[in-house]
Structure 1
Amino acid sequence: MSSLSLRCALLLAVAALPSPAFARLSAAETRMAATVEAEQERSIALLEKLVNVNSGSMNLKGVEQVGQMMRTELEAAGFTVKWVPMAAAGRAGHIIATHKGDGKGKRLLLIGHLDTVFEPHSPFQTFVRKGDKAEGPGVGDDKGGMVVMLAALRAMQAAGTLKAADIEIVLTGDEEESGSPIEIARADLVAAGKRADVALDFEGLVRDNGRDMGSIARRSSNSWTVTATGKTGHSSLIFNSEYGDGAVYELTRIIAAFRKELPEPNLTFNVGLIAGGATAEAAADGARVSASGKTNIIPAVAIAMGDFRTLSDDQTARVRQKMEAIVSQHAPLTDAKITFDEGYPSMAPTAGNRAILASLNGVNRDLGLAEMPELDPLKRGAGDISFVAKDVDGLAGLGPYSTGDHAPGETVDLPSMVTQAKRAAILMTRLSREKR
């Protein structure tokens, strides 16, 4: 777009803004809102390009290609950008971008991710626009979020407010299927969190009964595996004093006790895989379990795998202790062990997070938008912002509104990208002017 065309588009966008809604915006903020409006089609075109490059977490070349596309955009906005390879964690890598401001205001950390759940073998591969909606792999999660981030930064650049802002951006390449060990895969993000004063996560906006909600908390994601063992023999001998209950009954005892004894507020727990028999084993990728045996053989081994999600570290520790206690109460002549894999930590609701949401609601008032209440953390999953939640106050859900995420037919609401970019640009400008 030529400079003359952009000026004309900005003038038209400003003229289209309802004056009462924008009465409390500064001149620079009005310019930012107008820029987002004027560049809407540019943003949608960029979203289409990003979506049409497959970047499933395990498609390392595709993730890197999307990273290069984002690098080009961020460098044009004045950021210094580097690619951090993640071969040591079995993944493609991350984008780290920095913008040096005047060193006076709060340091902002912006978080998004390059990868999607849709690998090259998925039949769902292409961006399709349908009026005010667009469908495609990752169109909302999180390529739409990255485009909202860019639209907000470009608006700040156009209004002159980006110049003084100290901003670091981390775009991970493995949010949907994190690399291992997690300590390596998230080391750069954790380090960035320690340098920041505010963290803003550009995953999707959540609506509740049609109302935009503010995400000040995200629950953890922890995996568990229970392996039960028993004495095998002919089925006619089960439950006697020599052979006991067998591995499957021991495992079902444990799972039934989980269901009865674990429930508490903000906790969910799930059994995702289960198998038992004369033999049973779990695949190394954690996505399959298999068993063999006969109906007339007492099963020697049984395996169950699942997850549990909590709102705080204290809750995680408490639930683990309960699960371990249940597992230890063995049925006759059986044994069982439970192991845990702590994947994503929790982002607990804090006063600092609520203060950022209050700032965002100040932006909403000045834009003439409805206030965003706190979202129930049960209504969204785990995310990368949780890795920095212990070190910095944050807010999640600054990306667009979308439906059907993680499944064929994932659809983004295109007008929500405009609204979210306006909110983000003004919020980041105001935060970057607050003293550290």
Structure 2
Amino acid sequence: MKNWLLTCLLSVGACTLNAQSLQPTEQKLIERIEANYPQMMDLLKNSVNINSGTFNVAGVKAVGDLYAAELAKLGFTIEWIQLPDSLKRAGHLVATRKGKKGKKIMLLGHLDTVFEPDMPTNPFTVLNDSTITGQGINDMKGGDVIIIAAMKAMHQLNLLNDANITIYMTGDEENAGEPRSISRGDFINRAKQHDMVLAFEGAAGLNTIATARRGSSGWELEVEGKQGHSSGVFGAAGYGAIYEAARIVNSFRETLSKEKYLTFNPGIFIGGSEVAASFEQQKGEASGKTNIISPKTIVNGDLRFLTEEQKINARKTMQHIVNNSLPGTKATIRFQDGIPSMAPTSGNEALANILSKTSEDMGLGKVVPGDPGSRGAGDISYVAAYADCLDGLGAAGRGSHAPGETLNTKLFPVLMKRSAVFIYRLTQVSK
């Protein structure tokens, strides 16, 4: 235990800030973060050591209960948003403080991880003086703890009394329950009542922030051809389903692959005489012979985009390509909406500028918007159309979603301090 506490204290001590531009209250916030840091690291350790894979309903709820107990001590009203049993998801943690002044702020996290109980375990382990490993430690239990640390410091200085803050931690961010109108319904409705949403997914470092994230959707291509002897291919028998599907997918690549922030990836491509596939389970099987022209091919893929307009235009282009079938074939394409995009907006940019000013005042340098193409879709995208948004405020580390996921303990306390000062400044912004 002594070694563990020493590691915590060394991590904080190694991050002395040149913060001459901070106000006295902001200096006190930083001091409270430093004093509370060992407790917050214990909270991180305890939560990481609870398996909360998305489908482990009991584990997700246990992490929610752990965080809820901490937030209740800070004067937050706690709710658990229960989802229907048919969704097979744990639900969501919501904590609120309703004041009478300033902007309404939502702080966003998630309780679940990609690591299910049947996967190899990776408990909270200190690797060296700058690295800790553990399942979900930076995606995103580290970010959840940053939220709680900032709230604890503000509470201790009576800075939450007039604040309007909602903390929303979803229980199925890694695999949202279907239909999403149910699993994200309460979240979206609450977000609409706020002026800004700050998401604490993993940070790319000290000096970049996400003002935009790409959305994710799906597509299914089904191609039919005339079955016949292979000797007749390209002639009266036509080209067959496999050639037509290949032409379509390659035409997608030739036509759209150079458009910035747009990607489309075929994940399953199955053709033959007999074809069966379950796109929901993402698997299938086929049988055929080399001397038979394939009568059927199916392809399943995703489509990622930065704006709704980009998505719509891409779909129109793909549909046009599908409509121009090779002789003897017929193709149809269906599109499925998934997670909307978090498009770049002037409001998001204004939030990033406030964060950058905070960072500079703390001696940490400027913060600039990162490349939207470097991030996948996330929960914040469901509400980006209704409020000003920032993402990537959480813990820094490596190997998200992979065995051996890590957290950078040199940056962790610095990000805690900056988040506390940043959120405090936002509570001081008048309506």
Q: In which range does the TM-score fall when normalised by the shorter chain? A: over 0.9
Match of 1:315 in 2: 310
Match of 2:117 in 1: 120
- Distance in 1 between residues matched to 2:281 and 2:315, nearest whole Å: 20
Scaled by the length of structure 2, what TM-score is found?
A: 0.93
1:236 and 2:234 are equivalent in the alignment: no
Counterpart AA for 2:179: P
Note the C-alpha offset of 1:218. Answer: 0.6
- Distance in 1 between residues matched to 2:45 and 2:106, nearest whole Å: 26
Note the C-alpha offset of 1:331. Answer: 1.2
1:34 and 2:28 are equivalent in the alignment: no
Report the secondary structure of 1:29's partner residue: helix
Counterpart AA for 1:51: V
1:69 and 2:60 are equivalent in the alignment: no
- Distance in 2 between residues matched to 1:284 and 1:261, nearest whole Å: 25
Single out whichever of 52-61 and 283-292 deviates more from structure 2. 283-292
Q: Please list, as runs of the form range in 1=range in 2, the aligned pairs for 1:339-378 lying within 5 A after superposition.
A: 339-378=334-373
Single out whichever of 282-291 and 22-31 deviates more from structure 2. 282-291
Counterpart AA for 1:153: M
Percent of aligned pairs with the same residue? 42
Report the secondary structure of 2:271's partner residue: strand
Report the secondary structure of 2:192's partner residue: helix
Q: Give unmatched runs, 5+ long, in structure 2.
A: 1-7
Match of 1:4 in 2: none
4+ residue stretches of structure 1 with deviation over 3 A? 13-18
1:55 and 2:52 are equivalent in the alignment: yes
Is the 8 Å Cα contact of residues 14 and 410 (structure 2) preserved in structure 1?
no
1:219 and 2:214 are equivalent in the alignment: yes
Match of 2:181 in 1: 183
- Relative distance call for 1:223 and 1:229 in structure 2 (3 A) is same
- Distance in 1 between residues matched to 2:170 and 2:34, nearest whole Å: 28
Note the C-alpha offset of 1:326. Answer: 1.0
After superposition, the C-alpha distances for 1:260-284 in whole angstroms (9 at most, x for unaligned) are 0013112122112211111222225
Note the C-alpha offset of 1:78. Answer: 1.3
Counterpart AA for 1:251: A
Selected match of 1:399 from 394, 403, 410:
394
Match of 1:6 in 2: none
Note the C-alpha offset of 1:234. Answer: 2.5
- Distance in 2 between residues matched to 1:303 and 1:365, nearest whole Å: 53
Selected match of 1:325 from 320, 323, 326:
320
- Distance in 2 between residues matched to 1:24 and 1:212, nearest whole Å: 18
After superposition, the C-alpha distances for 1:299-326 in whole angstroms (9 at most, x for unaligned) are 1211111111111111111111111111
* Alignment root-mean-square deviation, CA: 1.9
Report the secondary structure of 2:337's partner residue: strand
Match of 2:429 in 1: 434
- Distance in 2 between residues matched to 1:389 and 1:257, nearest whole Å: 32
Note the C-alpha offset of 1:17. Answer: 4.5
Scaled by the length of structure 1, what TM-score is found?
A: 0.92
- Distance in 1 between residues matched to 2:427 and 2:13, nearest whole Å: 24
- Distance in 2 between residues matched to 1:233 and 1:178, nearest whole Å: 44
Report the secondary structure of 2:414's partner residue: helix
Match of 1:287 in 2: 282
- Distance in 2 between residues matched to 1:197 and 1:382, nearest whole Å: 21
